[in-house]
Amino acid sequence: MARLNSFSVMVVAAMLLAFVVVAKQDFNSLIICSNKLKPNCGEEIFMNIFGHSSKPVSDYCCYSLARIGLTCHNKLFDNIVDSQPGYKSNETITRPRSVQIWNKCSLVAGPVPPAA
C-alpha cells in the first residue's frame, strides 16, 4: 500500500512539474508574441476588440498584426479572456470582433512574411 501511495505522489508531482513547465512556455510565447507588435498597436488592437474604440485599426497596425500571425493573435486574445474575469463574460461579443479584426488586417496586409 505504501508503494502505491509513493507512486501516486510521484505521478502527481510529475504532472504538476509538467504543468508548470508548459505554463512557463506559454507565458514566454505570449511575451514573444506581444513584443513583435509595433509600438501602440497592441493598445489600438486591444481597444478595438475589448473597448469601445470608434477608430478602426490602422493599416500600420494591421501590418503589424498580420506579421505576428494568427496563432499569436489567438494566444493573446485567449490569454486576456482566460486570465481577466471581466473579459470572460463578454467573450461572445469580443471573439467575433477579434476574428473580424484579424480578417480585415489579413486582407489589408496581404501575404506577409512572419516576423523573425
* Residue 1 pLDDT > 70: no
Residue type, 38: K
CA–CA distance, 90 with 16 (Å, rounded to integer): 31
Q: Which tens digit of pLDDT belongs to each residue from 22-72?
A: 355 577 888 888 888 898 999 999 999 999 878 899 999 999 999 999 999
pLDDT digits (tens, 9 = 90+) for 105-114: 999 988 766 5
The span from the CA of 91 to the CA of 49, in Å, is 10
Question: How confident is residue 8, by pLDDT bands cut at 50, 70 and 90?
Answer: very low
As a whole number of angstroms, the distance between CA 31 and CA 28 comes to 5
pLDDT at 113: 64
> Please, is 77 exposed, middle or buried when counting C-beta atoms within 10 Å of its C-beta (0-12, 13-18, 19+)?
buried
Query: For 28, what's the count of Cα atoms within 13 Å in the CB-facing half-sphere?
Result: 6
